[in-house]
Structure 1
């Protein structure tokens, strides 16, 4: 799941300074959540399905490999916080759909197009040249039980470029791209609703809400995303009032952390319709306490925070086809037992995908400001040309 963090906008009405320490830890969380998702995928691609008894290290691997979906929900909360923050502040200054969409699309499209290109290339080589058992479904892993050839069609590619993974398959092996399409539609839904309800300003973007009727899972996931938006609303409201007692905030944060861990443990084995919004709500409560406490940055977490801010989006968008290709090179028709060799291959697949994403991000996420500036210059030149004509 992807969380493109917008540039912080100045807000003169906010009384207290921005909680930069809390934001540092939120960036580190982005890396941690992406690692949980990627670890679960690497484990499922390489390690055979659970068979008792297993050693304690293997048991731990099987256990933590099952938190990928929960990590995506936590991503949604962070995304809801950052994007709603940007939308609300833009609306106060004077809303422009053009400016907003330029910012969002210049953040999303380079990564999406690059991920589709890389994934398509690696998948094609794996299927047509390497005849990879992983890609042909011979390893029977639950994370890759699809017809790869059908998923590599031009129709699927074009639909994925238009963020329509909510109604069509994801391109090639890159199943994680489903959450990117969810994010895109949330980026449209929230400002459309906010402008209509808060500023009495209707737009054609409201029509996009009908997609939730046809894709109920998308509408349900939006509730989790909105927990992050509600978190920003509470933080913004509290920022204009006297700060609460630190002892009370600390007690609240510890309680929320315990509730979060309990909810995660429960959802690891129990499934119900409302578990994702419940998890998002508890996580939002924990983030509220973290933001109010605003703990200082921790030197040991700086690499994680830096990676989270610069490359976690790319890591999430590219890790699966990179890992699957590594399996095409290293794995036969049977997945491995969770011994030292098997777990070493899992670690290697993770390291390869992390390293690749760092380089990939430098050419995509790292060029977002330059791309945005270029598009703005082109737009201004066209407007001047129209005015002069």
Structure 2
């Protein structure tokens, strides 16, 4: 256990350096790739015949099928950073459920609530003016809204309205809950009452969320394992990070090819756990090489401009992920009503896609200024309120004891 603690301490220190700039950049690019895949499915026609397209069209097609594996990259990065915060608090004896829940819930709700409201508004517009068929029953709509608000989509309700990417958010939330529960249950000294409580909570979550979400928890945990692995000397050769990066690219390309039936099978499949695990392991290995090989070589390099770009796109990546699809959906139905039937992949359509992606990113950026950029304000407010509540509660208990005495 002491060795694991030492490994974590070293990795935690490495994450404070320049590696975090590249991980932020990857997070932002991954969000943009998700947007591109969802946009391309509405923007282009003739993607099934990529063999008959020119090189530029094939490259465009390749970029536009990387949204799915990008979500797996999100999972691994989430496992890396969330488990890092939990492990650090536990190792330093600073763990607090109050602090953890405030940090996580403020981060999620400050974007989720406005995103759900925006989805509602855009869906109403699309249904009433552009022919989109959304929720027609008010009760059903309200039930789905509340269910998504409490991360119950794909458990008790579907994803809300047109916002299909919300499927992954409940995975993230329940992993946020599961990880500290399991860590405190198995690796921290707890009384019997707390161990029983954590056991019951873990069983309830595992039994409720379903087999698929349980299995993808192992992919999320890849980020955790990266934090705890020791540095292996024979992997410190210069070509290893390049090899790891190539492996990530291969895994990301294999995933959509398997899904669409172009590789290993001749039909579309949603049974992608094995290939998603491959993507997760490849990306986990890449992060490992960045931490234990690249980090030392770039420690003293100044990445001022790249750092600004990484911070910028990572700063609105969550907003971009949560609002892009209802925007694309509404614009698509507006365009379809006005005669749009799709573009052929070519130079002009590439420019159109770039412009549209840029517009969605700009929209998400300004959306993020009033949502996720204000997370610290929400956290400060919640901490103040909870601390005041606890202070008043203690004072009441003290006064009761004095009266009783």
TM-score normalised per structure 1:
0.84
**Following the alignment from structure 2 to structure 1, what is the Cα–Cα distance between the partners of residues 286 and 26?**
13
Which of 32, 35, 43 is 2:32 aligned to? 35
Do 1:48 and 1:335's aligned partners in 2 also have CA atoms closer than 8 Å?
A: yes
Q: Deviations 1:86-127 (Å, cap 9, x if unpaired)?
A: 001111223221211011001110100011011111111111
Divergent runs of 4+, >6 A: none
Please list, as runs of the form range in 1=range in 2, the aligned pairs for 1:111-260 lying within 5 A after superposition.
Answer: 111-128=111-128, 130-132=129-131, 135-136=132-133, 147-149=134-136, 153-167=141-155, 168-201=157-190, 202=195, 204=197, 206=199, 207-213=201-207, 215-234=210-229, 237-238=230-231, 244=233, 248-260=236-248
Do 1:80 and 1:226's aligned partners in 2 also have CA atoms closer than 8 Å?
A: yes
Please list, as runs of the form range in 1=range in 2, the aligned pairs for 1:1-389 lying within 5 A after superposition.
Answer: 14=10, 18-52=15-49, 53-92=52-91, 93-128=93-128, 130-132=129-131, 135-136=132-133, 147-149=134-136, 153-167=141-155, 168-201=157-190, 202=195, 204=197, 206=199, 207-213=201-207, 215-234=210-229, 237-238=230-231, 244=233, 248-271=236-259, 272-292=272-292, 293-294=294-295, 295=298, 296=301, 298=303, 301-331=306-336, 332=339, 334-389=341-396
- State the number of aligned residues: 359
Q: Which moved more, 1:322-331 or 1:35-44?
A: 322-331
Do 1:148 and 1:173's aligned partners in 2 also have CA atoms closer than 8 Å?
A: no
Do 1:166 and 1:182's aligned partners in 2 also have CA atoms closer than 8 Å?
A: no
Compute the displacement of 1:219 (Å): 1.2
**Following the alignment from structure 2 to structure 1, what is the Cα–Cα distance between the partners of residues 207 and 55?**
45
Compute the displacement of 1:149 (Å): 3.6
Compute the displacement of 1:232 (Å): 1.2
TM-score normalised per structure 2:
0.81
Do 1:192 and 1:203's aligned partners in 2 also have CA atoms closer than 8 Å?
A: no
- For structure 1, the residue ranges without an aligned partner over 5 or more in a row are 1-10, 137-146
- For structure 2, the residue ranges without an aligned partner over 5 or more in a row are 1-6, 260-271, 397-405
Task: Indicate the SS of the match to 2:222.
Answer: helix
Q: Which moved more, 1:198-207 or 1:186-195?
A: 198-207
Q: Computing the radius of gyration over CA atoms, which structure comes out larger, 1 or 2? A: 2
Would the alpha carbon gap of residues 204 and 65 (structure 1) be closer, same or farther in structure 2, given more than 3 Å must change? Answer: farther
Task: Indicate the SS of the match to 2:250.
Answer: helix
Higher helix share: 2
**Following the alignment from structure 2 to structure 1, what is the Cα–Cα distance between the partners of residues 237 and 207?**
39
Task: Indicate the SS of the match to 1:318.
Answer: helix
